């Protein structure tokens, strides 16, 4: 499958246990289910694994998301803001009303609460990033309309 | 400097802005200060960069920590628990009263609140991991005694 060709880090990442109590838990590389982002919330092939669940005692959730080239989220915002860390490839990110910017491995992006934006791969290269988002009233994201091809390019 | 020879991902990671409001902020790879873990809280060469600050609206903080071979944290616990994601190298982790375990790239470790433990590099290889820890009463960690050479090996 296509996503198996994605960078090793993405394949390797796995979730932590969601239980608040109990012993230390190690989830080995590659052993966690890869999930697909629902089509309503993205364009193209977008897959992720959950690193820290929304029920986390961290009060934040964390994922690793891989976008195939051309793939991107829909427009959206985060009620608790979001930190992204690009771990592989090259991507694009754009806040509403601002210019699209290229993001590369090691770049970190802070999107404040409520700022409408999208992120994804470039048209020619895939991209993987880690995400950390605050949980506000049980929510980590508010979805809006899709990013049109005109907006994307 | 020695840490400059560390894996690219570590060097590349950078912090997000701490402001809750304002525009999206991109911190470029390599542009964030590398900090040293205080000697009281570790053994050997342990350096980190802050990805999401303790004042984060995420209600969790996040760092990338690099351990030179032989280096490790002191024994400690996290009032809000901690998720680790190994991003480079090979390390060891041990919960109090349990066996030491080896952790490798892509492994994810969940340590529940209050569980006393340590983590670090192996005796022969460095290790870098991302961390996400919950903030409880402004604290992300409670430090204990150092890990002796006997405990480490």
Predicted confidence at residue B40, as pLDDT, reads: 94
Q: Report how far residue A110's alpha carbon sits from residue B146's, in angstroms, rounded to the nearest whole number.
A: 35
Predicted confidence at residue A150, as pLDDT, reads: 96
Instruction: Please determine, for residue A42, whether its predicted confidence score (pLDDT) is greater than 60.
Output: yes
DSSP A82-141: EEEEEEEEEEEEEETTS--EEEETT-EEEE-TT--EEEEE-SSS-EEEEEEEE-BTTBS-
- In this complex, the residue of B19, B80, B107 whose CB is nearest that of residue A28 is B107
Count of beta carbons in the 10 Å neighbourhood of residue A99: 6
Residue B60 lies in a domain: yes
Contacts of B110 in chain A (CB under 8 A): 16-17, 24-25, 27, 52
For CA atoms B148, B151, B125, B47, give the dihedral sign: negative
Residue A104 lies in a domain: yes
Predicted confidence at residue A51, as pLDDT, reads: 84
Residue with tokens 């802070």: A110
Q: Report how far residue B13's alpha carbon sits from residue B27's, in angstroms, rounded to the nearest whole number.
A: 9
Residue A88 lies in a domain: yes
Strands B101-104 and A82-95: unpaired
Predicted confidence at residue B52, as pLDDT, reads: 77
Does A138 contact B at CB distance below 8 Å?
A: no
Q: Report how far residue B74's alpha carbon sits from residue B29's, in angstroms, rounded to the nearest whole number.
A: 29
Backbone dihedral region for residue A132 (phi beyond 0: left; psi -120 to 50: alpha; all else: beta): beta
Instruction: Please determine, for residue A73, whether its predicted confidence score (pLDDT) is greater than 80.
Output: yes
The ipTM estimated for the assembled molecules is: 0.79
Question: Which domain does B147 fall in, by range?
Answer: 6-12+32-152
Residue B84 lies in a domain: yes
Does B89 contact A at CB distance below 8 Å?
A: no
Predicted confidence at residue B21, as pLDDT, reads: 60
- In this complex, the residue of B52, B109, B115 whose CB is nearest that of residue A16 is B109
Predicted confidence at residue B12, as pLDDT, reads: 30
DSSP B43-63: ES-EEEEEEE-TT-TTSEEEE
| CATH of residue A130 | 2.60.120.10
Better-scored residue on pLDDT, B148 or A80: B148
Across the range B101-108, mean pLDDT stands at 93
Better-scored residue on pLDDT, A58 or A119: A119
Residue B56 lies in a domain: yes
The mean pLDDT value of chain A amounts to 84
Share of chain A above pLDDT 70, in %: 85
Residue A27 lies in a domain: no
Instruction: Please determine, for residue B126, whether its predicted confidence score (pLDDT) is greater than 90.
Output: yes
Q: What is the pTM of this model?
A: 0.78
CA B4 and chain centroid, separation? 17
Q: What is the dihedral of CA B66, B104, A52, A3, to 10 degrees?
A: 120
Q: Provide the pLDDT confidence category of residue A137 given band limits of 50, 70 and 90.
A: confident
The mean pLDDT value of chain B amounts to 84
Residue A140 lies in a domain: yes
pLDDT, one tens digit per residue, over B37-55 is: 999 999 999 999 988 777 6
Contacts of A139 in chain B (CB under 8 A): none
Residue B122 lies in a domain: yes
What number of C-beta contacts closer than 8 Å exist between A and B? 192
Cβ neighbors of A89 (< 8 A, separation 6 or more) are: A7, A105, A121, A125, A126, A127, A128
Contacts of A32 in chain B (CB under 8 A): 108
Interface list for B 23-52 with A (CB within 8 A): 23-30, 32, 51-52
Number of domains into which chain A is organized: 1
């Amino acid at each position: 499958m296509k996503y198996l060709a994605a960078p090793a880090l993405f394949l390797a990442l796995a979730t932590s246990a969601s239980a608040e109590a109990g012993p230390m838990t190690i989830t080995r590389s590659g052993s966690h289910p890869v999930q697909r982002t629902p089509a309503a919330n993205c364009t193209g092939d977008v897959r992720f694994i959950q690193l820290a669940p929304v029920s986390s005692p961290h009060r934040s959730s964390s994922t690793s998301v891989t976008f195939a080239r051309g793939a991107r989220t829909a427009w959206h915002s985060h009620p608790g803001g979001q930190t992204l860390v690009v771990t592989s490839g090259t991507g694009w990110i754009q806040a509403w009303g601002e210019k699209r910017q290229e993001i590369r491995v090691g770049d970190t992006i802070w999107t404040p609460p409520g700022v409408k934006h999208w992120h994804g791969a470039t048209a020619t290269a895939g991209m993987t990033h880690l995400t950390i988002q605050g949980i506000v009233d049980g929510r980590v994201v508010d979805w809006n309309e899709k990013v049109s091809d005109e907006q994307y390019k």
